[in-house]
Amino acid sequence: LLPVIDKDVLLVTDGYAAYLAFAREAGISHQAVNLRAGIRVRGAAHVQNVNAYHSRLREWLRPFHGVATRYLPNYLGWRWILDARRIRSSETLLKATLGAFPHLTVT
């Protein structure tokens, strides 16, 4: 993540110690929400949105029996397209896969 994330990012997590350690090591800001106290929102950031996305992604990846790290951006891009319903037909999906729509490409 370190070469990709911007140093100005704010990492909002639950209180798990590994997140705090990662934020310190990466030199990024971190704020924890107190899930036990029922606090799940910090400004515009909502931890449940992240948890829900992670759950959907994990369930969607299950039939693939794991993904090589080097291909993860491709799978995340595919999931991004499906989540937002950017592609609604198999013909459009095929064209996007073959590069006919460069604006849908995830880098």
Between 39-43, 57-61, 76-80, the lowest mean confidence (pLDDT) is in 39-43
- Cα separation, 8 vs 49, in Å, equals 21
pLDDT number for residue 21: 93
Domain ranges within the chain, ordered by starting residue? 10-46, 47-104
pLDDT in tens, 64-100: 888 888 888 888 888 888 887 777 777 877 777 776 5
Instruction: Answer yes or no: is pLDDT of 32 > 60.
Output: yes
Between 1-10, 20-29, 32-41, 54-63, the lowest mean confidence (pLDDT) is in 32-41
pTM for this structure? 0.54
Which residues partner with 32 through β-bridges? 13
